[in-house]
Amino acid sequence: MNIHRILERARLRPTFPRVLVLEFFQEHARDHFTAEQVDKLLNEDMRNMSLATVYRVPGQLVNADLLSGVAFGDGRMVYELNDGARHDHLVCTVCGRIYEFFDAEIEARQQSVANSLDFAVTGRQLVLFGMCSDCRKSDAQANALARR
Ligand SMILES: [Zn+2]
Ligand SMILES: [Zn+2]
């Protein structure tokens, strides 16, 4: 479906920044970006838009369920295309790499916890923080060098 139609169906006026940002996320459907990164990567096209405009757009697209926003603890918010497929995230706190995973058992457990508390779930986020294997390797190397 064309971007203008998608925005209109989500009851958003298809302004140039919205079209541009949504198009960007569709072209990078498996990736996660902060508003700053979007701004940087769209720099050429965004040049005559105020930063405030650019920063507002991802939030508007999240409210319209077109993007998902994931809060990564340190105040950073990353956005990704909302393709309706549920998944959770692992974040390397050293290099910032983001891994996605889906675990049916975790999903089911969360639902049964909510059920047992008679709680209607409207949103959920599960983010695991830590160090990826590359960062642990280079950390171990640095430590080995320091001990010499
Ligand atoms: Zn890492
Ligand atoms: Zn994701």
* Mean per-residue pLDDT, 121-146: 90
β-sheet bridge partners, residue 99 = 90
Between the CA of 34 and the centroid of ligand 2 the distance, in Å, is: 12
Point out the ligand nearest to the CA of residue 32.
2
CB atoms within 10 A of CB 42: 18
Residues 63-88: pLDDT tens digits? 999 999 988 767 788 999 998 888 99
* Mean per-residue pLDDT, 6-19: 93
Between the CA of 72 and the centroid of ligand 2 the distance, in Å, is: 12
Please state, for a pLDDT cut of 70, what percent of the chain lies above it. Answer: 97
Point out the ligand nearest to the CA of residue 28.
2
In the chain, the number of structural domains is 1
Distances from the Cα of 83 to the Cα of 22, 30, 60, 112, 120, angstroms: 12, 10, 16, 24, 22
Structure tokens belonging to residue 61:
């697209």
Nearest 5°: the CA angle 82, 124, 136 is 85
Range of the domain at 18: 3-147
Banded model confidence at residue 116, pLDDT cuts 50, 70, 90: very high
Q: Which residues surround ligand 1, an ion (CB under 5 A)?
A: 92, 94-95, 97, 132, 135
> Quick check: pTM over 0.85?
no
Contact call for residues 25 and 79 (beta carbons, < 8 A): yes
Between the CA of 143 and the centroid of ligand 2 the distance, in Å, is: 32
Query: What's 34's domain CATH number?
Result: 1.10.10.10
- Tell me if residue 41 falls in helix, strand or coil: helix
Point out the ligand nearest to the CA of residue 79.
2
> According to the model, what pLDDT value does residue 46 have?
67
Point out the ligand nearest to the CA of residue 134.
1
> According to the model, what pLDDT value does residue 47 have?
66
> According to the model, what pLDDT value does residue 1 have?
75
Would strands 88-92 and 127-130 be described as parallel, antiparallel, or unpaired? parallel
Q: Name the amino acid, one letter, at 56.
A: R
Between the CA of 7 and the centroid of ligand 2 the distance, in Å, is: 21
Q: Has residue 100 got a pLDDT over 70?
A: yes
Cα 38 to the center of its chain, rounded Å = 12
DSSP strands (E only) in the chain:
67-71, 77-81, 88-92, 98-101, 127-130
> According to the model, what pLDDT value does residue 142 have?
85
Point out the ligand nearest to the CA of residue 91.
1
Residues 14-57: pLDDT tens digits? 998 899 999 999 999 889 999 888 888 887 766 667 777 778 89
Point out the ligand nearest to the CA of residue 132.
1
> According to the model, what pLDDT value does residue 42 have?
83
Contact call for residues 97 and 132 (beta carbons, < 8 A): yes
